[in-house]
Amino acid sequence: MPIETVEPRRLYRQVADQLRSLIDRGEFPVGSRLPTERELAVQLGISRPTVREALIALEVDGRVRIRVGSGIYVLPPPDDRSEPAPPIAGPFEILGARALIEGAIVEEACRRARLEDIAAIDAPLDAMRSGQGAMMEHDRAFHVAIARTTGNDALVKITGDLFDQRMHPYFAQLAGYFENTGTWRTAIEEHGAIRDAIAAGDVAAARKAMQTHLKNSQRRFSESFGTTAPRDRPPADPTAPRHRAAAQ
């Protein structure tokens, strides 16, 4: 198969560009199924999360449709060939950066938190528990409130900016496959553990709880699309609506 090996250090956009080029050259005709995520990872010499990010990028660009449990199907070229600006980094890199940065931020929050700071952290957490409003907005407010406890506006901005990468179409598309009411419920429990450690002033527990939360987020997004159907299975209609898990 005419796929070139990609060095592990290269980003998912380069993988997406290579696959798009193969599609444009007719190596994968409209309606055909791409190799599975596992097969692409082996042939490209990269990790499966990187392949997953590349496939999501192609789906956002309107070049493929992912049908969970069936495969990734090539779509006709969109009329509008303009592409959304890619995020600064891939979703897994962003979550990894957050684990490092917010792990340090929560330690400082433990040392400085006052009663009013705990109340500010509780407000979005209570809203998430009650299901009021947009869960993503409350999630952001929770993490920003922790950063604000440090008294450092630069850390508040960094936390908000990193979280806002989740609003990018690539990240949102990836989340759409793996976020549901169950994953939100787990995330809320993880938030509660972070909040309790901050309130107790337990620096080690707070850092561990934050890193556990963000590493679990990476693990949730690392779930396979399940595209391991036999290659001789009749392809599904790539233009048919696909199943989506509830995001919140």
- Residue 129 or 86, more confident: 129
Bridge partners of residue 74, in order along the sequence? 64
Q: What is the pTM of this model?
A: 0.71
pLDDT in tens, 111-153: 999 999 999 999 999 999 998 778 999 999 999 999 999 999 9
- What pLDDT is recorded for position 131? 86
Q: Once rounded to an integer, what is the mean pLDDT over residues 18-36?
A: 92
pLDDT in tens, 193-247: 999 999 999 999 999 999 999 989 888 877 666 543 333 333 334 334 333 333 3
CATH of domain 91-221: 1.20.120.530
- Residue 36 or 69, more confident: 36
pLDDT in tens, 39-85: 998 998 888 888 888 898 898 888 999 887 788 999 998 876 665 55
Contacts for 75 with CB less than 8 Å, ≥ 6 apart: 30, 62, 63, 64, 65, 238, 239
- What pLDDT is recorded for position 1? 58
Q: Phi-psi bin for 190: left (phi > 0), alpha (psi -120 to 50), beta? A: alpha
pLDDT at 165 over 50: yes
- What pLDDT is recorded for position 220? 80
Model confidence band, residue 103 (pLDDT cutoffs 50, 70, 90): very high
CA distances from 134 to 22, 95, 108, 127, 213 (A): 39, 21, 28, 9, 20
Bridge partners of residue 72, in order along the sequence? 66
Tokens of 37: 């995520």
- What pLDDT is recorded for position 33? 93
- What pLDDT is recorded for position 5? 61
What 3 state SS string does 104-143 have? HHHHHHHHHCCHHHHHHHHHHHHHHHHCCCCHHHHHHHHH
Q: Where are the domains of the chain?
A: 91-221
